[in-house]
Amino acid sequence: MPDLLAARSLMAMSLGFHIIFAVVGIGLPLMMVIAEWRWLRTGEEVYLTLTKRWAKGTAFLFAIGAISGTVLSFQLGLLWPGFMAWAGPIIGLAFSLEGFAFFTEAIFLGLYLYGWRRLSPAAHLGAGIVVAVSGAASALFVVLANGWMQTPRGFRIVDAQPTDIDPVAAMLNPSGLFQVPHMILAAYAATGFVVAGIHAFRLLRDPDNQFHQRAFVIACVVGGVSALFQPVSGDILANVVAKYQPAKLAAFEGQFSTESGAPFRLGGIPDLEQGRLRYAIEIPYALSLMLYLDPHATVAGLDAVPREEWPPVGVVRTAFQIMILAGIWMATVALWGAWLWWRRGSIVRSRRFLQTMVVTAPLGFLAIEAGWTATEVGRQPWIITGVMRTAEAVTPMPGLIVPLMFFGVLYLFLAAVVAWVLFHQIGSSPREEPLRRNRGETRPKELTVRAYGTEKKPE
């Protein structure tokens, strides 16, 4: 395997791994804080139990997020020294601000998790809010940095070197500004749907369990509201892509030739030789309409850029389609939930809805992975759009296949253990808790974020 490909795969793997934990680190604290707030408001023990369990999940996944993020920070340099030498002074500011967000997140998470008995209820809730806000802030800054790679600005090039660097202008790049809300919504949507799916699964077996009902409602609200806004923010983002990265948009849409009144194409197989998309379902004028609010507007196709500057069309388009379909499906389910709420006053009673939520659970994460693949592979062959090619940025270090394999195995191993731990954490429904505690786990009690106020299930 050529080193460039190994480096790209390694980077993609690390990012794809990190994003899962990062997303949970943004979404779960929000839900945990909502549950705690409900507990303070209503005094119902079941909300406290819920808060503690979500806190436990956050604690564990945050740690994995922190280490996988550290790997990324190193790999930016280890794999792409050419890029970092060039871009460091320009986007370093965003990363530094992100560093402060990491600090506040880690500090207040420590306070939150281990401070139940040391902080006043208000201070404790406050700590949780800081965690939730810091999580979103990390996403904000790192996505702004990524946006700069898509739509670079804030510098001039003289002799192939950046001059007149303005880090603030670089940070406030158009792509980043519109990616941020899409990413943060995605985090809430994905976490909300997964958590809702898990509790829906439990509710199908145990429909009267208060704990799962409350959890399901909170998760549905967080996930559902975000999923409703997601297509809107995605559409706005697509406008930005159309404006600044026409080749990428053309790859997204399978738009091989520039055309006015372009249709929106679903499915299909890109035929690079012939330069067209086969077997796609076309909705006439829809693409022009969605992008420019004008059915006859002209959409640039891949033919507008030289062939060697095309991104890998197949991967990009497939990934993009997966995200869109997932997004439409999630928004539809969210609408259904809203309807149930409005008509029946409850979303926990319909088995059909619960079943659908179980099936939909993984789609948010799928959409995130797919969306990032579309974004990042769609940026190829550039590492900084129009400025530096990925091939120029890669480290001269040979044999990158070795770290690729090694980290591949490492991530698989970590993923397996994480899955196993989660399986156990989730698997123990609150009522089983006392049983498990008696089984003589010898752990110092300060260390475990225990669930108090165990809900007795009415049989």
Partner 1 sequence: MNLELIIAGALLIALTFYVLTGGADYGAGVWHLFARGARSRAYRALIDQALAPIWEANHVWLIFVLVLLFTAFPPAFTAIVTNLHIPLTFLLIGIVMRGASLAFRYADVPFGELHTQWDRLFALASLLTPFWLGVAIGTIVGGLPAVSGNFVATYISPWLQVFPFLVGLFTVVLVSYVAAAYLAVEAVDERLIEDFRWRAIAAGLAVLLLDETVLLASRNGAPILWDALTGTAWGAAVQFGTATAGLAAIVCLWQKRFRWARLCIVGQVTLTLWAWAFAQFPYLVPPQLTIYNAAAPTLTLQWLLLALGVGALLLFPSLYYLFRVFKQQAMFGHDDPPPSGEQRRKGGHT
Task: Tell me how far apart the terminal alpha carbons of the chain are, to the nearest angstrom.
Answer: 60
Smallest distance from ligand HDD to CB 341, Å: 21
Applying the rule CB under 6 A, the residues between 242 and 261 that interact with ligand HEM are none
Angle 184-194-94 from CA coordinates, rounded to 5° = 20
> What is the DSSP secondary structure assignment for residue 267, as one 8-state letter?
S
Tokens representing 346? 């409850």
The total number of residues written for the chain in this structure: 459
| Contact status: 383 vs ligand HEM (CB under 6 A) | yes
Smallest distance from ligand HDD to CB 213, Å: 24
- DSSP for 286-329, please give it: HHHHHHHS-TT-EE--GGGS-GGG---HHHHHHHHHHHHHHHHH
Task: Examine residue 444 and say whether the peptide bond preceding it is cis (omega within 30 degrees of 0).
Answer: no
Angle 378-361-13 from CA coordinates, rounded to 5° = 40
**Residue of 303, 410, 429, 431 that binds partner 1 (CB under 8 A):** 410
**Residue of 29, 69, 197, 270 that binds partner 1 (CB under 8 A):** 69
Smallest distance from ligand HDD to CB 232, Å: 8
| Contact status: 69 vs ligand HEM (CB under 6 A) | yes
CB proximity list for 192: less than 8 A, separation 6 or greater: 27, 31, 219, 220, 221, 222, 223, 224, 226, 227, 364
Applying the rule CB under 6 A, the residues between 386 and 405 that interact with ligand HEM are 390
| Contact status: 145 vs ligand HEM (CB under 6 A) | yes
Window contacting ligand HEM (CB under 6 A); options: 60-68, 166-174, 298-306, 400-408:
60-68
From the list ligand HEM, ligand HDD, partner 1, none, pick the one residue 172 interacts with, judged by a Cβ distance below 5 to 8 Å according to partner type.
none
From the list ligand HDD, partner 1, ligand HEM, none, pick the one residue 25 interacts with, judged by a Cβ distance below 5 to 8 Å according to partner type.
ligand HEM
Amino acid symbol at 259: E
Amino acid symbol at 55: A
Give the Cα separation of 47 and 304 in Å (integer).
Answer: 57
How far, in Å, are 48, 104, 139, 198 from residue 148 at the CA level?
42, 25, 14, 37
Residue nearer to partner 1 on the CB measure, 420 or 452: 420
| Contact status: 129 vs partner 1 (CB under 8 A) | no
Contact 51, 87 (CB under 8 A): no
From the list ligand HDD, ligand HEM, partner 1, none, pick the one residue 362 interacts with, judged by a Cβ distance below 5 to 8 Å according to partner type.
none
Residue nearer to partner 1 on the CB measure, 81 or 362: 81
Tokens representing 429? 């429904």
Residue nearer to ligand HDD on the CB measure, 111 or 219: 219
Applying the rule CB under 6 A, the residues between 177 and 196 that interact with ligand HEM are 183
**Residue of 417, 419, 432, 452 that binds partner 1 (CB under 8 A):** 417
310 alpha-carbon distance from chain centroid: 26
Chain positions contacting ligand HEM, by CB under 6 A: 8, 11-12, 15-16, 18-19, 21-22, 25-26, 62, 65-66, 69-70, 72-73, 76, 80, 83, 102, 105-106, 135, 138-139, 142-143, 145-146, 183, 372-373, 376-377, 379-380, 383, 390
